[in-house]
Chain A
Amino acid sequence: MKKIFITLIIALSFATAAYAAKDAVQIMDKSNNVYFYSGDDGRAKVTMRLVNKSGKERLRVFTMLRKDTTDGGEQKYYIYFYKPKDVKRTTFLVLKKMGGDDSRWLFIPVINLVKRIAASDKHSSFVGSDFSYEDVSGRATSDDTHEFIKEDKVEGYDVYVIKSTPKEKAAFTYVMNYIDKATYLPVRREYFNNKGAVYKVFEALEIQTVQGYPTITKRKMMDVKKNHYSLVEFSSIEYNVGIKDNIFTERYLKKPPKKYLR
């Protein structure tokens, strides 16, 4: 009788563990979609402040166009820079691939040259900020194993705490995600290195609903070690704009599509 009881308990605990893992993956999948794939496409004016440890600032202002090929899959990004002033009209194109290297092109207006930039590393910095390309455009949920840790309350949000560990070697050893139960947006992420220390912290500072899509309009990424952070604000957000596919080509890098930029 006792044996059966123990077997039952073990079986049950396996089942819950399996359930929890499945649950964690579902949460992360959903979160990924809400965070990175709202609508079929989107447009926003982005102001990025890169602040170093002495409080000095570098400013980036750009319009970002996004179009999804498939939800949770490939995406295209088009970026037009207004600031810094001396790089105005610089444009940037990123074709996000799943499971392969992205393609990136940069247009350098002063010499009217489009240059392809190698993109072997998705962990590298996005336009000189503390965000990596992956932080901006997402990371496939299947690249990590996800573990449900607990439910918690963070900055007034009720959250799921999920630990994601990369299956292959990555820039981080694991990430702690704090996913808002209501919107499924990440309100906080903590990146841990191989010494078990937090080295980067993501925070959602403001969430608004735009056209029915919950959107993080103000976010911050802090590099703990360098004491350097990037503060990003989104404005003029619009979803389902109907951006044409051919905008995301070399031709439009040189000749920015005015109607989408305003």
Chain B
Amino acid sequence: MLKKLTEFSIEKPKTVIIITVLLTILFGAMATGIKIDTDPENMLSADNYARVFHDEVKERFGLSDFIVLGITASDSVFNVDTLARVEKITNDILEIDGVIAEDVLSPTTTNNVVLEDDTLVVRKIMPSAPKTDQEVQKLRNELAGNPLFEGLMISEDGQALALFIPIESKDLSFRIAGQVEEIALKYLGGERHYVTGLPVAEDTFGYEMFVQMGISAPLAGLLVFLIMLYFFKKISLVVSPMIMSMISIIWTMGLLIGTGNTVHIMSSMIPIFLMPISVVDSVHVLSEFHDNYCRYNNKKDTLLHVMNELFKPMLYTSLTSAAGFASLAFTPIPPVRVFGLFVAFGIAAAWLLTVTFVPAYIVLTVNEESLKKSYSSCDTEKTTRLISILKLLEKVVLNNGGKIIFASFVIALVSIYGITKINVNDNPVNWFKKNHKIRVADRVLNEHLGGTYMPFLVLTGAEEGVIKDPEVMKYIDTLQKELRAVPNIGKTTSLANVVKRINYILHGEDPAYDVVPDTQEEIAQYLFLYLMSGEPDDLDNFVDYDYTSANIWIQSKKGDNQEIERIVSFTEDYMKKNPAPRGLKSGWAGLSYINIIWQKAMVGGMLKSLLGSFVIVFILMAILFRSFIWGLISMIPLTVTILFTYGVVGLIGKDYDMPIAILSSLTLGLSVDFAIHFIERFRLRYAVAGNYQDTVDGIFAEPARAIVRNAVIIAVGFLPLLFASLVPYKTVGMFLATIMLLSCTSTLLLLLPFIKMFKKPLGLK
């Protein structure tokens, strides 16, 4: 049956190599039409309700995604020089391709209502840069306490000024942010400048993600290669899993791109996930080959022996890992589904290559004479340290079964407690390291301004003109006041602010009139006055065309999903206790809001998929071992590993974010592998020995060595990821190391005591 594949590969290596090369060229050619997509919005399917509403709101209120350019000066930005620079910078920004010039918020492009010589003037905040200190002071006074601009464009302390630059499409933001930065550098003197905004974070992430793919993946590959070289000595031998891994990545990515899928943030991580998984099996092959060559002194016979022993466990481990990833197909998040299915395909490809290409490659290229030289001695004392440690461990495990089982229960309980403490949170800005300029910009600007994260609260009535109802306007005004009490909300802006401002200005800037008027006529006529004197689309961001729907801008200083969620639940709570007049209904939009929606889908989806794959893997194990109890036992190490890993995440307070959610499927797939290898070897040994005692004596030899080598290779090999500039990559590196070491430890420590415990039901003597 399937084993014939391997025998064929050993007999006809050239044919196998040629077929592999041809297939690789074919898949590689499919990868040429690569399309990149870094938009986290695509985490939601295009017909998702929240996303459809978000798009609709953007259209209704003429909102665009925006980049923020912050300029700070140590004393004040209100001086002739800085303001002149701001004017020049704005002019240049308006010329950038992809910037929606008419919607740029800046002192020279945004209208302000002021009284000059008893004349109502709607004009740019700063029609041209002031030339004297008096003019500067006048501008400062106009803005001081102006609720429409303070906290948005100007900080209360006057130290910071922000330009909001709307862009035609989010995928332009990395390029435009670069141009904005250049312009700022060109004109600014002693001032500092910061560029941020969610689209920048997201698009920059997309860009750096590919840089990381180009650096981290090869670096990890190199390290994996070096460690394998350390263990197995022969370059020609060690090269084979590397090539195999590369080929399976090419096949997978080729198929992904060739079938018209975009390379999303998720799928960009496929190579880095596939690399360790694909290498695992061949490390077993190399490990056994290395340890058994001396018995045959002939690579073909050694290979036949090794492949014969490993064929079944490799098939099982690949099946379970693939099943773990394929279960992601049940999540409600399209990119995650794609990710799961293609990693599963990659695992299948890696398995096929491991049983065909790897032996063929070894037969064809590895020099028999040099193998004899380095591997001929069966003197296992050469690797004394590993072997003696394992021997010691074997003794400890066999003698302390009860204690180990008890300890594992304690660990499981503590871990479960830790899991209940897990903090589900994410923020695309936090995908960058703390000192990344996007993080710095985010921090500085949110210190000075009302907040750069903007969820939009949309209130919609049933009839035209309902928003002009004073009851509605007052409700919005009160809601805004309530919202100011929520931590980290720095500012809110709505049509009510505009109405109040006009009322105040028309009444000689009397603070008693800084209120919402009592009649609809008053409100309507103030707005009419405003529109008569300004531009027809001046109010579009706050109210729709027929006054059915109003948009409240909420500025949050923090963009963590938790913060946004708090704002949403506070508002919904308030609106439940204080129902809006005239049957107004609320809805949410804005990138910050979209992020919490897909995060919810993600967390729930991942949990379900993890539970689902847990069940699938268990069923697979029971079928493969043709025993319910063997299936159960094989699940123990991975259960403890997963519990422990996520328990630690909860206990140390690390946010459960997108990368961590995705890694759960990897954890499952990888940690079951060792158990399969170990149990399969146990059963092989038992078939020979015929009783438990003889079986366990010396069991920590071959498979244990392979397991340890595997764990070390992958844990160490992915250490370079810890130095990546993107946090998700660091997380992957961290997790891989933890998973490998944990599942290796738990496999070696837990299986024997539990097998012993279940000796009777397993039918062992």
Contact = CB atoms under 8 A, between A and B. Distances in A.
B465 A117 contact: no
Contacts of A106: 120, 529, 532-533
Given A86-B465, A86-B468, A117-B119, A108 B536 contact: no
A125 interface: yes
B529 A108 contact: yes
B528 A90 contact: yes
A118 B531 CA distance: 13
B123 interface: yes
A116 interface: yes
B123 A120 contact: yes
A115 B545 contact: no
Contacts of A33: none
Given A117-B119, A118-B533, A54 B525 contact: no
Interface residues of A, number: 32
A208 interface: no
Given A56-B544, A86-B521, A113-B506, A50 B536 contact: yes
A127 B531 CA distance: 7
A52 B545 contact: yes
Interface in B513-569: 519-526, 528-529, 531-537, 544-546
A90 B60 CA distance: 28
Interface in A210-233: 225-226, 228
B531 A128 contact: yes
Contacts of A52: 545
A180 interface: no
A154 interface: no
B546 A57 contact: yes
A182 B515 CA distance: 57
Interface in B473-509: 506
A58 interface: yes
Interface hub of B118, B120, B123 (most chain A Cβ within 10 A): B120
Contacts of A118: 116, 119-123, 533
A41 interface: no
B369 interface: no
A1 interface: no
Contacts of B537: 226, 228
Contact of A127 (B116, B123, B532): B532
B59 interface: yes
B121 to A, nearest CB: 4
B506 A111 contact: yes
Nearest to B521: A110
Interface hub of A58, A90, A110 (most chain B Cβ within 10 A): A110
A97 B59 CA distance: 39
Interface in A100-154: 106, 108-111, 113, 115-118, 120-121, 124-125, 127-130
Interface in B120-166: 120-123
Nearest to B544: A56
Contacts of A125: 534-536
Nearest to A194: B95
B524 A115 contact: no
Contact of B525 (A108, A127, A128, A225): A108
Nearest to B114: A118
A92 B533 CA distance: 11
Interface string B631-644: 00000000000000
Interface string A13-54: 000000000000000000000000000000000000010101
A116 B546 CA distance: 27
A110 B519 contact: yes
B533 A129 contact: no
A128 B532 contact: yes
Contacts of B528: 84, 87, 90
Interface in B235-286: none
Contacts of B60: 54
B507 to A, nearest CB: 8
Contact of B546 (A56, A92, A108, A111): A56
B545 to A, nearest CB: 4
A109 B524 CA distance: 11
B545 A57 contact: yes
B57 to A, nearest CB: 12
A138 to B, nearest CB: 20
Nearest to B528: A87
Nearest to B526: A108
A54 B57 CA distance: 12
Contacts of A58: 545-546
A134 to B, nearest CB: 15
Interface in A74-89: 84, 86-87
A130 B536 CA distance: 8
A90 B535 CA distance: 19
B522 A110 contact: yes
B485 to A, nearest CB: 33
A54 B535 contact: no
B120 A117 contact: yes
B652 to A, nearest CB: 50
Contacts of B123: 118, 120-121
Interface in A229-254: none
Given A57-B546, A110-B521, A117-B120, A128 B529 contact: no
Interface in A175-197: none
Interface hub of B122, B506, B525, B546 (most chain A Cβ within 10 A): B525
Contacts of A90: 525, 528
Contacts of A121: 123
Contacts of B533: 106, 117-118, 124
Nearest to A58: B545
Interface string B709-742: 0000000000000000000000000000000000
B119 A116 contact: yes
Contacts of B102: 225
Contacts of A127: 531-532
Contacts of B544: 56
Interface hub of B59, B118, B533 (most chain A Cβ within 10 A): B533
A60 B673 CA distance: 74
B506 to A, nearest CB: 7
Contacts of B521: 86-87, 109-110
A110 B545 contact: no
Contacts of B523: 86
Interface hub of A121, A124, A225 (most chain B Cβ within 10 A): A124
A50 B523 CA distance: 20
B318 to A, nearest CB: 54
Contacts of A87: 521, 524-525, 528
Contact of A54 (B519, B531, B532, B545): B545
A174 B534 CA distance: 24
Interface string B456-479: 000000000100100000000000
Contacts of A129: 536
B118 A116 contact: yes
Contact of A110 (B59, B118, B525, B531): B525
B573 to A, nearest CB: 32
A118 B111 CA distance: 13
A77 B88 CA distance: 38
A84 to B, nearest CB: 7
20 contacts: A50-B536, A58-B545, A86-B524, A87-B521, A87-B528, A90-B528, A106-B120, A106-B532, A106-B533, A110-B522, A110-B525, A115-B120, A115-B506, A116-B118, A116-B120, A118-B120, A118-B122, A118-B123, A121-B123, A124-B535
Closest 3 CB pairs of A and B: A86-B524, A118-B121, A56-B545
Interface of A: 50, 52, 54, 56-58, 84, 86-87, 90, 92, 106, 108-111, 113, 115-118, 120-121, 124-125, 127-130, 225-226, 228
Given A86-B465, A124-B535, A127-B532, 6 more contacts: A84-B524, A108-B529, A116-B118, A117-B120, A118-B123, A124-B534
